[in-house]
A and B are shown apart, each in its own frame.
Chain A
């Protein structure tokens, strides 16, 4: 058994959600390789090498990977898989993870199991359906398993203590940029608050807050607690706050 964990990061920091994916990989009892795809991301590769339990880091640095365009990420992972023949590929169950994992499944002819809450054994996993109102235990056939891991369902692996080697990942034959969709711009909201998917404390509000203005009360409390602000689907649907604040199971 051998696992490839696709690291999630912002080109300077490894996100703690990746540490949860490492824990899920560790429960599969195989060798763990971490893949860092980014731009100006040497720092992330170094952090990845220090994560406890990781034995090797594969690093690919290219402008095409800096903004996580799915076509480029998916192709890079497929190339690494073709050279490494891992038994499991794990990614974080985030919007970034979901963006490329389906595509990777098509490229590798593998049915991913997304949003796993628990590893039962190397081929059996627990995942939610119906917005978390049903919990399914599923067994995946085939030599390769592609998984996305819900970060809040797994403890975080220790960020230090590891001594993995860092190697350059094998690049796709036709280059890093697949030449399909391309990045134009991005806007980041939320400022310094911790990421909702990994925050230790979440202060969430619903329709009862009546309008978006009143969420500022929650923001103050969240900042005092060092937490993130969340919102129910009803509050998001009513337009009080942006979509990325939704904490109902459907989007996590």
Chain B
């Protein structure tokens, strides 16, 4: 079973983002970038499948500018066998200028090229927060999908999965024939850290570079970002002295108690 994992380079989750003065977007210059946390979950799951021999090969794919190769190196150090870098123009912002429709279109090309049985992606990237790419890719391929996965069980390698997925009210179990697209939620696993020997080994693994513009996919955005602004400032909380004061505030200020 050949597994492909999509890994996106995003602003590190611990960074407090700043908006550019011209309101064109979030400041990306001189900001720490890392692998999207949900992509780490997807990557971890793929490596686990390799360790249990359910997967024969794990391919990491990243779509982005030159610097996305750092994210691919992280994926290789986590245990991917090889990488594919779909290179985009450095001028294109991957958080808002490259839409899920374009990303899914490019991933579809790679899937077809590499003859993949299972695609693992994060449930969303923490920059655009669209949560669309996984279902979109599945739709484009006409494959089954299981989003927000909390547990993946291989029923028969290359043939059938059972996926427990998060819903609004709890969890749901789906029977998923392969090939399929699965998107990872946080609870799926605990991503490993890349060890130094593995980081060294990763340098020897191959990364194929493709040019996004040459892949026959429409990359032109369908939506235009008019402006990006900070959210309204939230008022700070207060510490109350007594239960009576809390109840009074809930009644008179919050209006949650009648």
A binding-site residues for B, Cβ under 8 Å = 67, 69-71, 74, 94-96, 98-107, 109-115, 124, 128-142, 180-190, 195-197, 200-201, 225, 227, 236-237, 242-244, 250
Whether the pair A67, B172 counts as a contact (CB closer than 8 A) is yes
**Nearest B-chain residue to A120, judged by Cβ:** B226
Q: How far is the CB of A108 from chain B (nearest CB, A)?
A: 9
Describe B's contact surface by its main secondary structure.
Answer: mixed
A100 to B147, CA, bound (A): 9
A237 to B35, CA, bound (A): 18
Asked if B176 is at the interface of the complex by the 8 Å CB criterion, the answer is: yes
Given contacts A96-B167, A102-B130, A129-B228, 8 further A-B contacts (CB under 8 A): A111-B100, A129-B127, A135-B229, A138-B226, A180-B180, A182-B174, A186-B170, A190-B170
Q: How far is the CB of A155 from chain B (nearest CB, A)?
A: 16
The one of B137, B140, B186, B222 in contact with A111, judged by C-beta atoms closer than 8 angstroms, is: B222
| With contact pairs A130-B126, A181-B175, A181-B180 given, residues A189 and B228 touching in the complex (Cβ less than 8 Å) | no
**Nearest B-chain residue to A108, judged by Cβ:** B139
Asked if B191 is at the interface of the complex by the 8 Å CB criterion, the answer is: no
**Nearest A-chain residue to B101, judged by Cβ:** A111
Interface residues of B in 85-135 (CB under 8 A from A): 95-96, 99-101, 104, 124, 126-135
| With contact pairs A70-B145, A105-B139, A129-B26 given, residues A142 and B172 touching in the complex (Cβ less than 8 Å) | no
Interface residues of B in 230-258 (CB under 8 A from A): 230-231, 250, 256-257
Chain B residues near A102: list those with CB within 8 A. Answer: 100, 104, 130-136, 139
Chain A residues near B22: list those with CB within 8 A. Answer: none
Q: How far is the CB of A230 from chain B (nearest CB, A)?
A: 13
Whether the pair B129, A95 counts as a contact (CB closer than 8 A) is no
Chain A residues near B100: list those with CB within 8 A. Answer: 102, 105, 111-112
| With contact pairs A142-B222, A201-B256 given, residues A130 and B129 touching in the complex (Cβ less than 8 Å) | yes
Asked if B207 is at the interface of the complex by the 8 Å CB criterion, the answer is: no
B binding-site residues for A, Cβ under 8 Å = 11, 16-17, 19, 25-26, 95-96, 99-101, 104, 124, 126-140, 143-148, 150, 162, 166-177, 180, 185-187, 221-231, 250, 256-257
Chain A residues near B230: list those with CB within 8 A. Answer: 133-135
Chain A residues near B144: list those with CB within 8 A. Answer: 71, 180-181
Chain B residues near A107: list those with CB within 8 A. Answer: 139
Whether the pair B101, A105 counts as a contact (CB closer than 8 A) is yes
Q: How far is the CB of A19 from chain B (nearest CB, A)?
A: 16
Chain A residues near B256: list those with CB within 8 A. Answer: 200-201, 225, 227
| With contact pairs A106-B140, A137-B225, A141-B222 given, residues A129 and B172 touching in the complex (Cβ less than 8 Å) | no
Q: How far is the CB of B33 from chain A (nearest CB, A)?
A: 13
Whether the pair B11, A95 counts as a contact (CB closer than 8 A) is no
Chain A residues near B170: list those with CB within 8 A. Answer: 186-190, 242, 244
A143 to B87, CA, bound (A): 31
A130 to B104, CA, bound (A): 20
Q: How far is the CB of A243 from chain B (nearest CB, A)?
A: 5
Q: How far is the CB of B132 from chain A (nearest CB, A)?
A: 4
Whether the pair A136, B17 counts as a contact (CB closer than 8 A) is no
Chain A residues near B147: list those with CB within 8 A. Answer: 70, 95, 98-99
